[in-house]
Amino acid sequence: MSRDADRNKLPRSNSHDNISLNPIPKIIHSKPTSHGAGETSFGAKDDGSTMSSSNEYAASPYKNASSAIAGVIRGHAPGREHITTLSIPEQQPTVAYTSDLLLPINFLPGEDDVKLRDDVTYGHKRKTLQRGELIVTKYRLLFITKSPDPLQILVDVPLGMISQIEKVGGQTRSNISDGAAYGIEVDCKDLRRFFFGSAKEQNQRRNLYDNLTRLIFPFSITKADTGNPLQFFSSFFAWNYKKKICPNETDIGWKIYNKVQDYTRMGLGKNGDPNWIIDTEINKNYSLCDTYPNTLVVPSSIDLLRLQNVATFRSRNRLPVLSWYSRETCATIIRSSQPLTGLNRKNQDDIDYLHEIANANKNQNSKLFILDARPKVNAIANKANGGGYEDYSECELEFHNIQNIHVMRESLHKLHSAIRHGSQEDKSWFNDSANSNWLAHIQTILTSVNQIVSFIHNDKRSVLVHCSDGWDRTAQLTSLSMLMLDPYYRTIKGFMVLIEKEWISFGHKFFLRIGHGDKNESEQSPVFLQFLDCTYQLIQQFESAFEFNETFLLKIAEYLYSCQYGTFLLNSEKVRVDMKISEYTMSAWTPMLEDHQIYTNKLYNEKLDQVLRISCSSEHIKLWNNYYCRYMSDHQSTSDNIIHRTSTLLHLRNRLNPNQHDDESSQPRSRSSSYVGSGTQYPNPSPALRKTKE
């Protein structure tokens, strides 16, 4: 039986076999990838949220990675007759099994059921090119060409990567002309865009649109229930994947970050600076601030009652706490949210607390420096809504004009539009991309980071960083400053710890900012993507200072959206603990630790442990082409050139240092942690992990 005939024996959605085609000579191939609230308000805020009190093809399974889950779990063939009933609402039935498709692709463990099959045409810029079949699993959307054409997979995209689905063409049959485009257009968060033409009869487009919406945007239909872990996680492929890989164990990636250990490494704790205390009690059970971690570092002189008073005077109870400590200068990076000063309100406990933070630095000879990431006009506007800023004579305040989440989202949309509709050989493309202001925003962020680093390292001054709520722009500035100040965070493991610490445990709202399972963009913003972009800029200027390479950043950006792992699914540490995330999903760090050789920068020099200071000029801040432009038809990846250049430089270095072996030069050592070469080895995968990789 032919492959096409075998596919056709299975049930499918409405189809139409007589769709006329209007092919054009060039077929656009999609590059295969590894894939994937009502609060009490005081008014609108600068970052677009509201202010209230704190209660708020792959040989390896790692190289690839949602419809709502079916009400039963079926096993692989043979044995499909075994059915285990679960109390999970049925939203989309299984129409086939991936094992029956006979496709040249290795589906992931857990990617067993096909949720949708439909005959469509695939097109570029709303022009039909190829006739074939649309296939949707729990993890991905595929377009497969049909006989008599050679079998090709032209589209392979994780469902989590899809941002919008739009109907194209007339809304009623009466106003549809024969030559007009008619079907579904799919936009992706990684700039890809696909057009699938459908039949104008039998309600095929409406059925296709409705089914795709249920599969890809379950939380646009029913609000996410973060009080029910099984119901919530079953909406994501990460749950299916975990059940197949390591159902009864916690994978190593969830254990990579130890709060007390990291603060102790900095020079704090029992044998460290006595002016600071690592406190595991004040936010136990997240009672003081439910969007902060359960372990906080505060001045040792402060008592619990005053801490509580300070917390109530800060948006979302996000009081100032230590993020990083310098052994060399005793200066600190402090993070918080805005004070609730309103039009004319002060809190003496808040003023005294900032004074104690300044005094905890024995080298502090001047006022505490406060870097407010917002434009001043926005901060002033927030005063009318109950927010504000520190107009304290005891502190030095400066605003840094980093725009809010809505401006950043619109900027990325403009960049996407410029890239989709232009060519890198076209002068207007450069103008359009510049008009998006994306690189200007990157420059502004990095300029602010440079100032923080200068205050800490050169002036030995402690710096308090905040924006409105302290979980978007604040996380960008603190994490990038730490990356430039501390060489440990420039290692592979250290960078993972940095993300776990400053982004995940301190409450960056990944679920809302990425828009997992929800097409509503009101809370979405590329804040974390900007952090990765800024890190890329640092690597370009200080290549030998980083143990990881660009491929490492690209993989993190992929896992950010793909929903294969649970690392970037939820909004705060408390929600992760309450939802038992490590029991339902795997960590994105687990496969990356195992495959660390892929992400290792062979030019890394562990002796380059100095503080970095990046050039923020337009000449040096460049578009991250290998990320934003990788799906442009005329894009040529620079990765091969980088690998060739690296090999040449390593060869020259070995000629200059004949006593240094090649294997030593390609195995970097970290001076700042118990990492490779200093006692700790990379984790070996469990038998289940090894089996799936084989």
User: DSSP labels for 330-371?
Assistant: --EEEE---B--TTT---HHHHHHHHHHHHTSTT--SPEEEE
Taking only the tens place, the pLDDT of each residue in 51-83 is: 443 333 233 333 333 333 233 233 333 333 333
Give the span between the Cα atoms of 565 and 589, in whole angstroms. 9
From the list 246, 330, 467, 563, the catalytic residue is: 467
Provide the pLDDT for residue 521.
93
Alpha helices, H only, 491-624 = 492-498, 510-514, 527-541, 550-562, 573-578, 581-584, 589-594
Query: Per the annotation, does 335 bind a ligand?
Result: no
Amino acid residing at 579? M
| Tokens found for residue 67 | 């419809």
Provide the pLDDT for residue 54.
36
Let me know if 188 is a catalytic residue.
no
Query: Per the annotation, does 659 bind a ligand?
Result: no
Provide the pLDDT for residue 176.
52
Q: List the one residue out of 299, 517, 522 whose CA is nearest residue 405.
A: 522
Query: Per the annotation, does 677 bind a ligand?
Result: no
Query: Per the annotation, does 468 bind a ligand?
Result: yes
Taking only the tens place, the pLDDT of each residue in 560-594 is: 999 999 999 999 999 999 999 999 999 999 999 99
Select the CATH number that applies to the domain covering 252-631 from these four: 3.90.190.10, 3.40.50.2300, 3.50.50.60, 3.40.50.1360: 3.90.190.10
Strand pairing of 463-466 and 332-335?
A: parallel
181 in Cβ contact with 154 (< 8 Å): no
What residue ranges do the domains of the chain occupy?
Answer: 114-170+178-235, 252-631
For 114-170+178-235, which CATH class? mainly beta
Give the span between the Cα atoms of 84 and 65, in whole angstroms. 24
Which residues in the chain come in under a pLDDT of 70?
A: 1-91, 128, 171-179, 423-427, 633-694
Query: Per the annotation, does 563 bind a ligand?
Result: no
Provide the pLDDT for residue 655.
62
338 in Cβ contact with 384 (< 8 Å): no
Query: Per the annotation, does 290 bind a ligand?
Result: no
DSSP 438: H
In 192-349, at which residue ranges do the beta strands (DSSP E only) sit? 193-197, 276-279, 296-299, 321-325, 332-335
Query: Per the annotation, does 472 bind a ligand?
Result: yes
